[in-house]
Structure 1
Amino acid sequence: MSSDASNLPMYQEFFLKERNIKLETEIFEGSSVAFQGYHETFKKKVFVKFIPIPWDNDQNIEHEVETLIKLRDKQNIVNVFDSFIDAQTGSQLVIVTEYLEGNTLDKFCGLSQISLKQAIDIVMELIVGVSDVHNLGLVHRDLKLENIIYDGNKPIIVDLGSVKSIGAKVLMEDPIPYMYRSSEVFLKGIYSIQSDIYQIGLILFQLVNGSLPTDIEYYAELSKVKLDLENTYQEGIKQLKKLVAKDQLINVIPPLPIYCSKINRVIINAIKLRYKTLDSFYKDLSKIKSEVPDWVIQSESEYLCKEWRRKKYRVVKNEEGYRIFNQTLIRTRELIQVSSSSELNKYFQNI
């Protein structure tokens, strides 16, 4: 989304002097300023993000700047061409990455366009990319659906503007959405490896079950306080913080009937119990991938199992529960009616 182009000449002259980058179009980026541009050295379209450096910053920003460049040519992470503090004023961290276009992961929530096993594959690929960040002594901090592009083949993390050293303190101006701030961010005021694991767990949950509400008024309605124009936002933030601090955020939307105990266990380990390492998270996903049916949603009341034990199945929800059908190229045959989602998942695990 383009915004007022009057910023462009100033940013070009003040912050990119003697750099081989030509800014072309300003892009709406929330609290940051960003542009689409062209890198004359690499001969590529680039995304240029300007992040103000706090005057009272007591963290090792120079280390982060130098380390960001080491993410160049890493798997599942947008290519980093440059990272520097502007020489003219020393007030801006500038991150230059390859400019990528495509659908972000928020378009793929709820298994309507991808299957369960595709969702698992996406998250496993994300873990590979985030592992490279952690291996450099950094945490991403802002892993969310909107910051990941997916082309149907592999996910790419495209926003590196929130990357900080492990153990970085929480600042008042941090742009990280409250929904994606883990309990230790609220309770201890720091970002850790577990903070990124929490965010990846939230991504997996939403890919499988659908997007969590982002409207702050939704969370305000959970309050027992009488709401008005003045207190709705504050009450919404208060309720959201409470849910996150108690690791109960994923309880605000009902899980899909096909949400089996095995995938639930992995998500709970990521969001509530918190894996100690990304490697443990990856290994669990790799293990359950062969242990769960490959579901995709066809409508609000119909689910297709693309493959399970070398067969295909269709499930139709009705007033009595769920009708289960075996589906072949020649015919569809009803197998059984079950009354609950737990019976549904138990039936498939026993096949």
Structure 2
Amino acid sequence: MGSPLSPGTKLGRYEIRSQIGAGGMGEVYLAHDTQLDRTVALKILPENVGADRSRLQRFVQEAKSASALNHPNILTVYEIGQTDSTHFIATEYIEGETLRHHLSDARMTLSEVLDICIQVTNALATAHKAGIIHRDMKPENIMIRRDGIVKVLDFGLAKLTAHESADVNAEAPTKAIIKTDPGTVLGTAIYMSPEQARGIPVDARTDIFSIGVVLYEMVAGCVPFSGSTSSEVLASILSEKEPQPLARYSREVPAELERVVSKALRKNRDERYQTIKDLLLDLKNLKQELEFAVKLERSTPPELSGAGGAAKPTDGRP
């Protein structure tokens, strides 16, 4: 579409309210579903993509992949529609802010970091089990609702993994090659895995690396691999140099969190977490340990914790 849709424009049963975003695969609008009387987000394909059969197929595949994922931390897809030559996806509308915006507001607590990361990892575990790799995990694709619920957005770069047979275990998708051209580099450079940066076939472990980058950024306030240009960023990701320890940015970082992030960011994917479920388990265990430590500290009397010093005898004894 040449220009943004005006408020009041109707696409089937949807009435446009306002434009709320735009990306490589189309514009996003706030709209009203006149039939079910609810607010939705409409993602609309540019005309040149809609006219391209292969790109249109990619769009439909994206929508079908996302709509098949039923999870509280994944954006719900309501409908894949078409009005004349306009193709669109109707999804739930999220009232909240992106993780990117949240990161720019204030430094996050460790408890908040783990809570968000566990929700995102839960969502990816469901996607990976269905044979879907996100491929573009970054703070812009993570929404935080006002009630604290996290939603993973935009499986626009997701591809269905190819199962060799119908009889596969739940972790088989992590070993399957995605359906894409090996030489195509997709995603945002800063959050790319080394295999993505090289443009070679990837598996679900690429999402694990990207989550490691997001987790690092939430704790440190900066990304582990950087540069002034995309080429410099990719060179940093592909180099043998490891990122700075998180403890450099915060003395309160537990050694276990340092270990988890380091393992997620291994440049050799065979040394990384091999499944998203393994990462999720470690994150949950770490969160439980920290919560237990806080409860223990609160329940321990000052004289026992040493906060108030040793109690002095009152009967004259030494």
CA distance in 1, matches of 2:272, 2:87: 31
Q: Pick from 284, 304, 307: which aligns with 2:294? A: 307
1:155 alignment partner in structure 2:
150
TM-fit CA distance, 1:177: 1.4
1:281 alignment partner in structure 2:
279
**Counterpart amino acid of residue 204 in structure 2:** I
CA distance in 2, matches of 1:152, 1:208: 22
CA distance in 2, matches of 1:93, 1:165: 21
1:257 alignment partner in structure 2:
251
CA distance in 1, matches of 2:156, 2:302: 48
Q: Secondary structure at the match of 1:24?
A: strand
1:33-72 alignment runs, 5 A limit: 33-51=27-45, 53=49, 55=52, 57=54, 61=58, 62-71=60-69
**Counterpart amino acid of residue 294 in structure 2:** E
1:267 alignment partner in structure 2:
261
Q: Compared with structure 1, are the counterparts of its residues 219 and 64 closer, same or farther at alpha carbon in structure 2 (3 Å cutoff)?
A: closer
TM-fit CA distance, 1:28: 3.4
**Counterpart amino acid of residue 297 in structure 2:** R
Q: Specify every segment of 5 or more residues in structure 1 that has no aligned partner in the other structure, as ranges.
A: 221-235, 295-305, 313-325, 336-351
**Counterpart amino acid of residue 289 in structure 1:** K
TM-fit CA distance, 1:33: 1.6
**Counterpart amino acid of residue 253 in structure 2:** Y
Q: Compared with structure 1, are the counterparts of its residues 247 and 138 closer, same or farther at alpha carbon in structure 2 (3 Å cutoff)?
A: farther
CA distance in 1, matches of 2:213, 2:221: 11
CA distance in 2, matches of 1:59, 1:242: 33
CA distance in 2, matches of 1:58, 1:22: 26
Q: Contact 1:183 / 1:246 at 8 angstroms: preserved in 2?
A: no
2:212 alignment partner in structure 1:
201
CA distance in 1, matches of 2:184, 2:195: 18
CA distance in 2, matches of 1:209, 1:257: 11
1:184 alignment partner in structure 2:
195
CA distance in 2, matches of 1:46, 1:206: 31
Q: Compared with structure 1, are the counterparts of its residues 126 and 87 closer, same or farther at alpha carbon in structure 2 (3 Å cutoff)?
A: same
**Counterpart amino acid of residue 66 in structure 2:** L
* Deviation per residue, 1:133-184 (Å, 9 max, x gap): 2233222222211222223532112333333323142699976211111111
Q: CA RMSD in A?
A: 4.0
CA distance in 2, matches of 1:59, 1:172: 21
* Deviation per residue, 1:95-143 (Å, 9 max, x gap): 2211112122234449955421332122111111122222332222222
**Counterpart amino acid of residue 218 in structure 2:** L
1:222-261 alignment runs, 5 A limit: 236-246=229-239, 250-251=243-244, 254-261=248-255
CA distance in 1, matches of 2:253, 2:197: 29
CA distance in 1, matches of 2:307, 2:230: 49
Q: Contact 2:135 / 2:207 at 8 angstroms: preserved in 1?
A: yes
Q: Secondary structure at the match of 1:203?
A: helix
Q: Compared with structure 1, are the counterparts of its residues 238 and 5 closer, same or farther at alpha carbon in structure 2 (3 Å cutoff)?
A: closer
CA distance in 1, matches of 2:80, 2:124: 18
1:83-122 alignment runs, 5 A limit: 83-84=80-81, 86=82, 88-89=84-85, 94-109=88-103, 114-122=108-116
Q: Contact 1:75 / 1:128 at 8 angstroms: preserved in 2?
A: no
1:75 alignment partner in structure 2:
72
Q: Specify every segment of 5 or more residues in structure 2 that has no aligned partner in the other structure, as ranges.
A: 162-177, 311-318
TM-fit CA distance, 1:275: 1.4
Q: Compared with structure 1, are the counterparts of its residues 30 and 64 closer, same or farther at alpha carbon in structure 2 (3 Å cutoff)?
A: closer
TM-fit CA distance, 1:69: 2.0
Compute the TM-score of the two structures, normalised by the length of structure 2.
Answer: 0.72
**Counterpart amino acid of residue 34 in structure 1:** V
Name the count of aligned residue pairs. 281
2:22 alignment partner in structure 1:
29
Q: Contact 1:140 / 1:160 at 8 angstroms: preserved in 2?
A: yes
- Name the structure with the higher strand share: 1
Q: Secondary structure at the match of 1:7?
A: coil
2:15 paired with 1:7: no
TM-fit CA distance, 1:261: 2.1
Q: Secondary structure at the match of 1:8?
A: coil
